[in-house]
A and B are shown apart, each in its own frame.
Chain A
């Protein structure tokens, strides 16, 4: 397909999501709209996560840190009667600031070390905030009393999801996006071809964090009461990574589709069979990493026929080996 064709497809995906998101509150029940909100949150989180982590192959587990920081900023901002839009912006800005500091400290590490350190820093931030609550302000959490209407929250998260997708569409076609792909393919080679890798990684990490922070700020008001254990819940970060990996982190629509499917699955299954959902998610992750390293988005008809032929060939080899052994004995 040509570049223009691909761009057309991406823009269609974006328009479809916007239309669907705008239409949903008009016909669906309150429960479905709240499901839709969770969907859009994971679309925002996993799309922005893949934007950086999918192309550079730096696996960040810090999503819950940025999400939690956004949520906390939101709670504190709303306590002070700040306007809603500025609450979202402050949430994003704090997450960006922390990402820059964190990135400067850990972005020279690769692979497992990077993943583990981002996770460790998330825990550090969570415990630091818990300490702050207890020792400094003498509280445990925050009660959110003045919260905006449900419709405002929904539209805010929809806007974030659309913005995340649009950013992803633009960045993938930019020099910045190419630099990130180069880093993912061979960081040192990209450097010797003129990419300022440190700057590019920092900027990419900051963009991801900004979206997670904004999403956290918007979603915080869904809880009437927040404390560090709730908003820094590592489950949010893990689920984001799982969605992106299962969907195919290198593509635009892989994480999008996976975010919708899995947040629906999560909400419905978690109510009835919580363990089953986690088991299913774990199993799917293992299967997709083993057999579909490009995620579900890389699945083509040929992949399936390839498996089929592979299985046939294995059967044939087995039969041959069996016959040869039989002949040897005879």
Chain B
């Protein structure tokens, strides 16, 4: 069995009366590529915030590679191999692209085992395809390049688990596909686990091996895409209308057939 990188046990996040994440348990293993989907407000980003230390869960435990990190601050998560990107790119605008990448190498990435591709800033820039932008200030590159830079900054912490929060939002069809290829390449060549939140469900389902579905803060499904998309509750909650529009036959809630988009 593969090594468990992160185990979230009964994680709940409450904002006043609102339960953003409701008793979610999940564990992520070395080398897997998992996706998280769910309608707007399902608690996807809040779940990421909780498992990267950005917000402390109201209850529940978080265990990273056997170490209990519950209640610790984000730097502790980063130092234990959990890296994340932010939905809206949060690059250091005034620093150069290369300095943005070098930042992580000097902090969380320091002293962690360095795979060849993540040996230095140049290697990472090469990997994310921004080598020719190295000397530019991060504010001066395009938004889609900033999304790549976000990934580069996260990779610089030399993570074992990479959390990607809508890195493909707003990208064109071809950019979306090359982003997916990049993510697959990162996963396979760096041997790290990737958890990927994305609204472009069809693309996501085509690339991940496992998908978690959140709905109103609860986890309603967790498994291979082909199985999950057949799940009645999932179809009811989320996939229903979208898949009916795109699928040739359109699954009804109970016929047990997978929607067209899920096979490839």
Partners in one complex: yes
Please measure, in the bound complex, the distance between the C-alpha atom of A120 and the C-alpha atom of B183, giving whole angstroms.
50
Which one of A178, A179, A186, A197 lies within 8 Å of B90 (CB-CB)? Answer: A186
B119 at the interface (CB under 8 A from A): no
Q: Knowing A178-B106, A185-B94, say if A194 contacts B54 (CB, 8 Å).
A: no
Instruction: State whether B103 touches A197 (Cβ < 8 A).
Output: no
Which segment of B74-82, B192-200, B209-217, B219-227 sits at the interface? B74-82
A175 within 8 A of B: yes
Q: Does B156 contact A (CB under 8 A)?
A: yes
B108 touches A194 (CB 8 A): yes
On whether the beta carbons of B104 and A193 are closer than 8 Å, the reply is: yes
A182 on the B face (CB < 8 A)? yes
19 examples of A-B residue contacts, CB within 8 angstroms:
A178-B106, A181-B92, A185-B92, A185-B94, A185-B95, A186-B90, A189-B86, A189-B92, A191-B53, A191-B54, A192-B74, A193-B78, A193-B153, A194-B107, A194-B109, A194-B110, A196-B73, A197-B73, A197-B75
With A175-B106, A198-B73 known to touch, is A192 a contact of B92 (CB < 8 Å)?
no
Residues in A whose Cβ lies below 8 Å from that of B109 = 194
Contacting pair B107 A195 (CB below 8 A) = yes
Interchain nearest-CB distance for A200 vs B (Å): 10
Q: Contact check, B93 vs A192: say whether CB atoms are below 8 A apart.
A: no
CB distance from A77 to the nearest CB of B (A): 39
Interface size range on A against B: 10 to 19
- Cα A241 to Cα B84 in complex, Å, equals 36
Interface residues of chain A, those whose CB is within 8 Å of chain B, are: 175, 178-179, 181-182, 185-186, 188-198
| Interface SS of B by simple majority | loop
Residues of chain A within 8 A (CB-CB) of B146 are none
Measured CB to CB, the nearest residue on chain B to A191 is: B74
Q: Which residue of A lies closest to B110 (CB)?
A: A194
- A192 adjacent to B54 (CB under 8 Å): yes
B92/A194 in contact, CB under 8 A: no
B52, B53, B79, B103: the one contacting A182 at CB < 8 Å is: B103
CB distance from A195 to the nearest CB of B (A): 5
| Contacts A175-B106, A178-B106; A195 near B92 (Cβ below 8 A) | no
Q: How far is the CA of A179 from the CA of B106 in the complex (A)?
A: 9
Interchain nearest-CB distance for A143 vs B (Å): 49
Is B83 at the interface (CB under 8 A from chain A)? Answer: yes
Query: Closest residue of chain B to A182, judged by CB?
Result: B103
A275 to B92, CA, bound (A): 42
Inter-subunit contact B78/A192 (CB<8 Å)? yes
Interface string of B176-205 (1 = CB under 8 A from A): 000000000000000000000000000000
Beta-carbon nearest neighbor of A188 in chain B:
B54
Q: Is the CB of B157 closer than 8 A to any CB of chain A?
A: yes
Interface string of B24-55 (1 = CB under 8 A from A): 00000000000000000000000000001110
Closest A residue by C-beta to B92: A185
Residue numbers in B under 8 Å from A179 (CB-CB)? 107
CB distance from B140 to the nearest CB of A (A): 15
Interface size on B, residues (CB 8 A): 29
Closest B residue by C-beta to A189: B90
How far apart are the CA atoms of A192 and B110 in the complex, in Å? 14
- Chain B nearest Cβ from A185, distance in angstroms: 4
* Chain A nearest CB, measured from B239 CB (Å): 31
Complex-state Cα separation, A182 to B153, whole angstroms: 13
Select one of B53, B73, B94, B108 contacting A193, CB under 8 A: B108
Given A192-B52, A194-B104, 16 extra CB contacts under 8 A: A175-B106, A175-B107, A178-B106, A179-B107, A191-B54, A191-B73, A191-B74, A191-B75, A193-B108, A193-B154, A193-B156, A194-B75, A194-B79, A194-B108, A194-B109, A195-B75
Bound-state Cα–Cα, A264 to B181, Å? 63
Cross-interface CB contact of B92 among A175, A186, A197, A198, cutoff 8 Å:
A186
- Residues of B near A196 (CB, < 8 A) are 73, 75
Q: Chain A nearest CB: distance from B50 CB in Å? A: 13
Which chain B residue has the least Cβ–Cβ distance from A198? B73
* CB pair A193 B90 closer than 8 Å: no
Tell which of B53, B86, B94, B107 has the most Cβ of chain A within 10 Å: B107
Q: Which of A178, A181, A188, A193 has the most CB of B within 10 A?
A: A193
Knowing A175-B106, A182-B103, the reply to whether A192 touches B94 (Cβ < 8 A) is no
CB nearest to A178 among chain B residues: B106
Interface centre among A181, A194, A196 (most CB of B within 10 A): A194
Give the 3 A-B CB pairs with smallest separation, nearest first: A194-B108, A194-B107, A191-B74
A193 to B104, CA, bound (A): 5
Say yes or no: A192-B103 contact (C-beta < 8 A), given A185-B95, A198-B73.
no
- CB-CB under 8 A from B104, the residues of chain A are 193-194
- What's the minimum C-beta distance from A294 to chain B, rounded to whole angstroms? 10
Between B53, B74, B83, the greatest number of chain A beta carbons within 10 A of the residue's beta carbon is seen for B74
CB nearest to A196 among chain B residues = B75
* Residues of B close to A185: CB separation below 8 A: 92-95
